[in-house]
Structure 1
Amino acid sequence: MSRPTIGAPTGRRSDPLALVIGATGGIGGALAERLLADGWRVRAAHRDPERARSANTPAGLEWVKADALDACAVTAAADGAEIIVHAVNPPAYRNWAGLQMPMLDSSLAAARASGARLLFPGTVYNYGPDAFPRIGEDAPQTPLTRKGAIRVRMEAALCEAGVRFLIVRAGDFFGPRPGNNWLSQGVVRAGRPVTAVRYPGPLAIRHAWAFLPDVAETFVRLLRTPLADQAMFHMEGHAVTGHELVAGLEAAAGRRLAVKRMPWLALAAVAPFNETLRELQEVRYLWRETVLLDNARLRASLGEEPRTLLVEALRTALAGQGSLPASLIDAA
């Protein structure tokens, strides 16, 4: 694969082309932005490009009309691409069973037709307690949830499809764009100044968090290295206790925060009538004990893992989800 020059102007026909499916989301937007900065042309597929263009997306994207469920449209959008970023997820965890595999099938069809390498952000949902506390890339995948079983099927489909791929698995995502993540949907309420933290598990237990720009940086750095056709890596991210996360949030917010336990019993009563809450309930087991990812393979390849300071990462995330006063954002 030809490698772009860092800092090169975007949009030149000689630059390598990346297709991003899910550029309006957290990880898709972060990867699109980082690829642009690295000199790639980035084509973004969306069923409504005009609406997507007006959203909070990176400047410089080449928008193309293509529904992620339409394999022919995605294949056409991937013409000439060297990589395809599959970063699309159903909003608010809704209808994973009905949408995830068909959307991935479209990306796989496009990868087969174009010869592009498929980039796939992975999660800890694939794993059950038998893989805890420190999970390696080759750990058994015996998930306890429906979402986990779907993620396992998705990765199996990648392996069976005969395409080149790069999987980077990480902990709970958080970043500048709020979305399907625990920080903005559970721990801190988005859209209002942060005054309290609702933590889902015991504060003394370590948990893996992944700052989205760090995940994007990891993908881009790995693309510069020799890769096997089927490459998988784990990011350690921020492996912190609940106490450490709260301290980071307080430093980012510039104030003391009330700390509350996640009201699991109350959520359980409402969950049968709310799909998002029902899906959050399923992954409660990931908060009951230490869940970390072993990044030895990544460090062997890159030398070190990209990792933004926790307070800086949290401040960026809180600002992006509207949870910091304007005065603090300006001061930063």
Structure 2
Amino acid sequence: MTKTILILGATGGVGGAVARVLLRRGWTVRALARDPVKAAAAWGAAPGPDWRRGDAMRRDDVSEAAAGASVILHGVNPPGYSDWDRLVLPMIDNTIAAARSAGGARILLPGTVYNYDPAALSLVDETAPQEPASRKGAIRVELERRLLAAAPDVPSLVVRAGDFFGPGVRQSWFAQSLAKTPLTRILNPGRPGIGHAWAYLPDLAEAMARLLELPSGHLQPAERVQFAGIWDGDGRQMAAAIRRAVNRPDLPERRFPWWLMRLLAPFGGFPREVMEVRPFWRHALAFDNRRLVELIGEEPRTPLETAVAEALAAA
């Protein structure tokens, strides 16, 4: 396998984290961006990807950038997480076509919890029924169905994980609610006593890199694994870790205004989008990582205290 990857979404959290890990491991990393100059400037002084001009909505752009790649990371979402019904599926179709034109590059997809109904199950493994209760979840199920249909000609790897957080992750519940800067309070979307799964992106990216570097034949044509991440068993540990990291035991905590989101949801926009994920804060949903451990051994795991401190330091 050639160690060349095309990353769609390298300016985002998971795409950027995977790019950094693979660059350190000697991979050739390409990244598609509508404005490569701006993307390269935002990357900083460290060695970065080979930025290619293009748009994930244009099939020819993706196919041209994917030539010679063995992996395509599909980490791109519609801007502002809007227009899911119009943009998500055409983008994955473009990625599948590009992977096929590259001779069967494996598509790496960061998976989500949206495919599931958290009121109906509490543990996700690769056999868990995908019966989403939301519009966004139904689209994610169809996205994965298309990946399954493309195998084995186009192999895929879906790595499911909880809510992302970590250095440079700006669009997340951690960065935009619990630890929003300037940090004057903790706005907690969870409920006391309800567990929640978190994925520290440097750990998730390391796990993805190890999976991609497995010898040929270890991964199934359509592999599905779960990344357990950091489990906040009672919904209080993340807030407590934030207080300890900033040495402010009296940092006030407020409940996220779900009542306001519910009132505004009929008008669309952010309130409607956020109400679709509310069930994942009302019910505990954990990830069974046995298949991941079977493939790579122990899951990468940064202690919660260290992960939170590093995320806050980079804010």
> Structure 2-normalised TM-score?
0.93
1:140 and 2:129 matched: yes
Among 244, 257, 262, which residue is 1:263 paired with?
257
Corresponding residue of 2:7? 20
Q: Deviations over 1:122-157 (max 9, x none)?
A: 011110036521111110001111111111111111
Q: How far apart, CA to CA, are the structure 2 residues paired with 1:45 and 1:19?
A: 7
Match of 1:291 in 2: 285
Conserved 8 A contact 1:21-1:85: yes
Given that residues 13 and 168 in structure 2 are in contact (C-alpha distance below 8 angstroms), is that contact kept between their aligned partners in structure 1? yes
Task: Please identify, of 242-251 and 116-125, the stretch whose mean Cα deviation from structure 2 is larger.
Answer: 242-251
**Which segments of 5 or more consecutive residues in structure 2 lack a partner in the other structure?**
none
Deviates more, 1:109-118 or 1:245-254: 245-254
Per-residue deviation at 1:180?
Answer: 2.8
Which amino acid is the alignment partner of residue 59 of structure 2? A
Deviations 1:98-134 (A, max 9, x none): 1111111111111011121111000111100365211
Match of 1:32 in 2: 19
User: Residue 214 of structure 1 is aligned with which of 193, 196, 203?
Assistant: 203
Aligned partner (choices 166, 171, 196) of residue 175 of structure 1 = 166
Question: Do the aligned residues in 2 keep the contact of 1:18 with 1:83 (CA within 8 Å)?
Answer: yes
SS at match of 1:55: helix
| Alpha-carbon distance between aligned partners in 1 of 2:144 and 2:120, rounded to the nearest angstrom | 17
The change in CA–CA distance for 1:317 and 1:62 in structure 2 (over 3 A counts) is same
Alignment of 1:132-281 (within 5 A): 132-162=121-151, 163-189=154-180, 191-192=181-182, 194-225=183-214, 226-240=218-232, 241-256=234-249, 257-273=251-267, 275-281=269-275
1:31-180 equivalences under 5 Å are: 31-56=18-43, 59-114=47-102, 115-129=104-118, 131-162=120-151, 163-180=154-171
Cα distance in 2 between the residues matched to 1:137 and 1:78: 28
Q: Which residue among 288, 294, 298 is the counterpart of 1:300? A: 294
Say whether the 8 Å CA contact 2:63–2:101 is kept in structure 1.
Answer: yes
SS in 2 for 1:54: helix
Q: What is the distance in 1 between the residues matched to 2:97 and 2:28?
A: 21
Between the two proteins, the alignment pairs up a number of residues equal to 306
Is residue 158–residue 223 contact of structure 2 (8 Å, CA) maintained in 1?
A: yes
What is the distance in 1 between the residues matched to 2:271 and 2:219?
Answer: 39
More divergent stretch after superposition (305-314 vs 125-134): 125-134
Q: 2:63 is paired with a residue of what secondary structure?
A: helix
* Residue in 2 that maps onto 1:328: none
Secondary structure in 1 matching 2:238: helix
* Residue identity opposite 1:230 in structure 2: A
What SS does structure 1 have at the residue aligned with 2:254? strand
Matched residue SS, 2:32? strand
CA contact (8 A) 1:104 1:154 kept: yes
Q: Which amino acid aligns with 1:105?
A: D
1:4-45 deviations in whole A, cap 9, x for unaligned?
Answer: xxxxxxxxxxxx211111000000000111110110010111
Deviation at 1:319, TM superposition (A): 2.6
SS class of match (1:129): coil
**3-state DSSP class of the match of 2:51?**
strand
Shift of 1:261: 1.0
Q: Separation in 2 of the partners of 1:155 and 1:186?
A: 29
One-letter code of the match for 1:60?
G
1:18 alignment partner, SS class: strand
* Separation in 2, partners of 1:47, 1:107: 16
- Contact 2:266/2:272 (8 A) holds in 1: yes
Letter matched to residue 100 of structure 2: R
Q: 1:184 to 1:236 in 2, by over 3 A?
A: same
SS in 2 for 1:297: helix
Unaligned runs of 5+ in 1: 3-15, 322-332
Would you say the 8 A contact 1:132–1:292 is kept in 2? no
Residues in 1 aligned to 2:39 and 2:122: alpha-carbon distance in whole angstroms: 39
Q: Structure 1-normalised TM-score?
A: 0.88
